[in-house]
Amino acid sequence: MLGIFSQRFVTLDSIDIFTTHEWFPSKPTVYFCCNSEDKVYLPDVKDANNIYTFKGEESWQPLTELPEKKCKRCGLYEEDTFKHDLYDEWELCSSDFKKGKYTHFKEGQFNATFLCPNCTASAGDSANHDSSSEAETKKSSVTVIIVVSVLSSVLVIIALFGGYKYWLKKKRERDQLRFLKLFEEGDDIEDELGLGNEL
């Protein structure tokens, strides 16, 4: 019973190819393949810019089965007479699936959504293998924290410098007042001694 629930079968939910690699106006033969496994042909996918959706019950499904801890090198290809054309190759991992769903996008080539209900990332897997969007979010958060810290530090330094300048100004004013007071007191002493205006 445990083996049934631990199977990580990957099925294709939807796909949209943006281009075909055919030289002549003919329908492409698109297939999915992982490592050295058998090719899984997608017989319905024949036209570019057309979204194909599947139930997961088609005769050619599932595409592959993923191991729990390791990833598989998989790709989407177009079969040709001489050399097969590559849409994209990537590492497909159980931990890529969030709530059993994984979307792979290759600019100018295709957009595909894969399903694997038993491939949800465990806590340990998600810590070891973040998706690119989560990594970018963390990078942007770190960048924001650094920028805010630098700006805060600059503002604190400016405030301290302004406070120091204000303190120096007040100190200078106090010293000037003491100096003037000293001379005023000096005049009072001269008056007391009678040394005022005698020449």
Q: Does 40 map to a domain? A: yes
Using CA atoms, how far residue 14 sits from 3, 11, 52, 141, 156, in Å, is 27, 9, 5, 32, 54
Q: Where in the sequence is the domain holding 84, given as residue range(s)?
A: 2-129
Q: Does 198 map to a domain? A: no
Are residue 111 and residue 41 in the same domain, yes or no?
yes
pLDDT at residue 126 in the model = 46
When divided into structural domains, the chain yields a total of: 2
Q: Chain-centre distance of CA 171, in angstroms?
A: 53
The reply to whether the predicted model has a pTM over 0.75 is no
Final residue before a domain boundary, out of 97, 129, 161 = 129
Final residue before a domain boundary, out of 75, 102, 129 = 129
Phi, psi angle pair for 16, to nearest 5°: -140, 110
Q: Does 199 map to a domain? A: no
Q: Which of 69, 114, 111 is nearest to 93 (CA)?
A: 69
pLDDT at residue 108 in the model = 87
Q: Does 159 map to a domain? A: yes
Are residue 28 and residue 120 in the same domain, yes or no?
yes
In the chain, where do the E strands start and end? 9-17, 29-34, 40-41, 52-53, 64-65, 72-79, 85-92, 101-106, 110-115
Per-residue pLDDT tens digits for 42-52: 998 888 888 99
Are residue 60 and residue 141 in the same domain, yes or no?
no
Are residue 76 and residue 170 in the same domain, yes or no?
no
Are residue 119 and residue 139 in the same domain, yes or no?
no
Are residue 56 and residue 94 in the same domain, yes or no?
yes
Are residue 110 and residue 139 in the same domain, yes or no?
no
Mean pLDDT over each residue of the chain, to the nearest integer:
83
Q: Are 100 and 117 in contact (CB under 8 A)?
A: yes
Q: Which of 5, 14, 11 is nearest to 60 (CA)?
A: 11
Are residue 96 and residue 9 in the same domain, yes or no?
yes
Per-residue pLDDT tens digits for 151-184: 999 999 999 999 999 999 999 999 999 888 877 7
Instruction: Answer yes or no: is pLDDT of 196 > 60.
Output: no
Are residue 115 and residue 182 in the same domain, yes or no?
no
Q: Does 31 map to a domain? A: yes
pLDDT at residue 183 in the model = 73
Are residue 68 and residue 148 in the same domain, yes or no?
no
Are residue 61 and residue 76 in the same domain, yes or no?
yes
Q: Does 65 map to a domain? A: yes
pLDDT at residue 28 in the model = 84
CATH of the domain at 49: 2.60.40
Final residue before a domain boundary, out of 77, 106, 129 = 129
* Residue where the block lists tokens 């007191």: 185
Are residue 75 and residue 25 in the same domain, yes or no?
yes
